Amino acid sequence: MSGRAGSRSAHYLVTGGAGFIGSHLVEALVARGHMVRVLDDLSTGRRENLAPVAGTVELVVGDIRDLEVCREACAGMDYVLHHAAKVSVAESVKKPIETHEVNALGTLKILTAAREAGCKRLVYAGSASAYGNCAVSPQREDLPANPLSPYAIAKHVGELYCRVFYELYGFETVVLRYFNIFGPRQDPKSPYSGVIARFISLFTRGEAPIIQGDGEQTRDFVPVANVVEANLLACASPDAAGQVINVGCGQSTTINRLAELLIGMTGTACVCGRAEVRPGDVRRSLADITRARELLGYEVMVAPEAGLRETVAWYRDNPR
């Protein structure tokens, strides 16, 4: 497929489409006139996330660990945006087998079903956790993987399956290696939610969040609108097939600085508490987005601070 994303109508399957990132993708695809099917087991996804497009998209409630469910969902689709996953590092430490079954084996099954169905391309939601505690900064896609948790291992295994399906079977795959995504609709009460959702929820209620460790760990925080654009471009770019591509903002922020920004934006007088660092946590994270620019034509549409202001405003209107 050539040309920019959304230039023609197509059929898209979004796995995990009732979740935070997936529902934003679904809305964007519908807005561009595409036909959309969602596969979600609703374990963490919510029907209400699809309320803006209710009656427009098809929802298949099922588990990506079930190959027949995957086959049903992939039938007639042009593109698969694979975002169904267990996404909590902490939960993966407690439940490594379940994490592997969903993130690695589930990915193998959706790849198998998409290839059998004759889909044109699968875009895989990879994770910057593959880099681990990398001494090189910013992190480039050609650096060796060093996953530090069962979650990171399982997500990296999914990347490897994508590569094998492209090189061995000729089935087009693109791995988008996400850094720390945030935005409206992220559930702060879920163990799977990111630090920004939890911090905003607590600050807007006048409660103090807990910072693990010294707070000087850094993250490349990415507003979800940038991730949506990267997915659309990944479907359209002829040069992206078979590639692993970072999706971030190329900007590093400490957790302490994040807390300062959110204190200012929410107007709270709270002081953050402190706790021990989490097992499997990464110290430094910063994306080199050169490859995304070169292969996808990707640019940061929404800067992190603008995304924070938008997200704070959303949580004020939609308290969680």
Residues labelled as active-site residues: 151
List the one residue out of 125, 24, 21, 15 whose CA is nearest residue 71: 15
- Is the distance from CB of 18 to CB of 40 less than 8 angstroms? yes
Q: How far apart are CA 91 and CA 114, in angstroms?
A: 28
Q: How far apart are CA 62 and CA 43, in angstroms?
A: 10
- Is the distance from CB of 191 to CB of 90 less than 8 angstroms? yes
Q: How far is CA 179 from CA 54, 63, 132, 139, in A?
A: 29, 25, 12, 10
- Is the distance from CB of 241 to CB of 193 less than 8 angstroms? no
E strand or H helix at 64: none
List the one residue out of 47, 70, 71 whose CA is nearest residue 59: 47
